[in-house]
Amino acid sequence: MGVLDDKVAIVTGSARGIGRATAELLLEHGAKVVINDLDADLARAAADELGGETSVFHGDLTKEGVPDALVQHAIDSWGRLDIVVNNAGYTLDAPVHKMRDDWFQRMLDIHVVAPFRVVRAAAPHLREPAKKEREEGREVFRKIVNVSSMSGTMGNAGQANYAAGKAGVVGLTKTLAKEWGQFKVNVNAVAFGWIETRLTASKDEANVTEIDGQQVQLGIPDELRELAPMMVPIGRPGTPEEAAGGIFFLCSPWSNYVHGQTLHVTGGQFGGMTG
């Protein structure tokens, strides 16, 4: 038996990277998982490769109505919802004096507005069952994990837009924790440091993605990548699987009394658990 048997989870941006590693870990421990990505083919391929009980939903979560459709897809697939992991995101880097309005707004849309809309859509499926359970004298914990970043908690040059979005999701997390604790919905965030994904890979012509029909450059310059051993006390970037471990803990029964927190998963860079 797995610790998440019969639990239903949504993991946004779960066709690759940290999201995929998270989905794999949840599936391994018995959960049913909605695999979500902008790219339908990539999402289906990930679901096929991961195995387990999966369902696929593709769509741009920054578009009105899509977060609601995502949640409804989970309910239509399995009739319930227990875990929401707001992981989907990307970066558009520039210094403040060169930052375009649309670049700033895009980061707020994907990193704050989309998670807000997902959890708002999920509200009746997370809160209403708890009311009946409370009347019966039972505690059943459900989980929301929002993915933030050290950029959001510490700031980062060249990422004012991304940092603002990731700081915003921490504020959203703390507020939800105050509102939904009575319903035994644990709401926490994970702030990642240097994790080896497309966002921290080399910035080259091959490392691009398509957003709204436009090519978006991902990655960071190689000269910055070479600093990792000096910046991270453990001496290297983390893997997506190591990053997923932090999310899994906050989805598991072992986090039932962890609430309203931001867990830093950074290899020791700037410390650990913070309020």
What's the domain range around 20? 8-198+239-266
Q: Is residue 272 part of a domain?
A: no
Q: Is residue 271 part of a domain?
A: no
pTM: 0.89
- Residue 275: pLDDT over 50: no
Q: Is residue 139 part of a domain?
A: yes
Q: Is residue 223 part of a domain?
A: no
Q: Which of 57, 78, 104, 162 is catalytic?
A: 162
- Residue 99: pLDDT over 70: yes
Q: Is residue 32 part of a domain?
A: yes
Predicted confidence (pLDDT) per residue in 222-246, tens digit = 555 566 567 888 888 899 999 999 9
H or E, element range at 172? helix 160-180
Predicted confidence (pLDDT) per residue in 19-57, tens digit = 999 999 999 999 999 999 999 999 999 999 999 999 999
- Residue 83: pLDDT over 90: yes
Q: Is residue 52 part of a domain?
A: yes
Block residue for tokens 């040059």: 157
**Alpha-carbon gap, residue 259 to 28, rounded angstroms:** 24
Domain tally for the chain?
1
Domain harbouring 252, CATH code: 3.40.50.720
Q: Is residue 21 part of a domain?
A: yes
Q: Is residue 207 part of a domain?
A: no
Coil, strand or helix at 112: helix
Asked if 162 is an active-site residue, the reply is yes
